[in-house]
Amino acid sequence: MIYSIKAQYIEEKMGEFYQKLTDGTIQNQKPDGQEIVNSMKRAKITAPKIIQWSEMCFCSTPLKHERETIFDHFLTDLETKTIDDKVEFVGESFFDFLERQFKK
């Protein structure tokens, strides 16, 4: 299934999130690490502290594994909606935002 996701990011945890997105920690997570990294690279900031993206997930509960392992540590108020195809949201790139603040 493909989902449209909207969530609020936890500002004080974004440095740690960026590090895990870029050091291989998340990418090496099986089975969904690469999809999580790719999704965060597609995510857009659509309102203050709000990001939106689309993601493919095969869990019976939408994003169950992703939430348990990653998203619930760094995001709140996660909303999912089933869609037919991935969507490109309008807004500032979430990944670029993180990179500007935390890239060493």
Average pLDDT, the chain: 94
Domain 2-102 coded CATH 3.40.50: no
Q: What is the pLDDT of residues 41-67, one digit of tens each?
A: 999 999 999 999 999 888 888 899 899
DSSP class per residue in 2-69:
EEEEEEEE-GGGHHHHHHHHHSSTTTTSTTTHHHHHHHHHH-EEEETTEEEEEEE---SSTTHHHIII
CB 5 within 8 A of CB 71: no
DSSP code, position 72: H
Angle at 62 between CA 61 and CA 63, to 5 degrees: 110
pLDDT band at 89 (very low <50, low <70, confident <90, very high): very high
Q: What is the pLDDT of residues 21-34, one digit of tens each?
A: 999 999 999 988 99
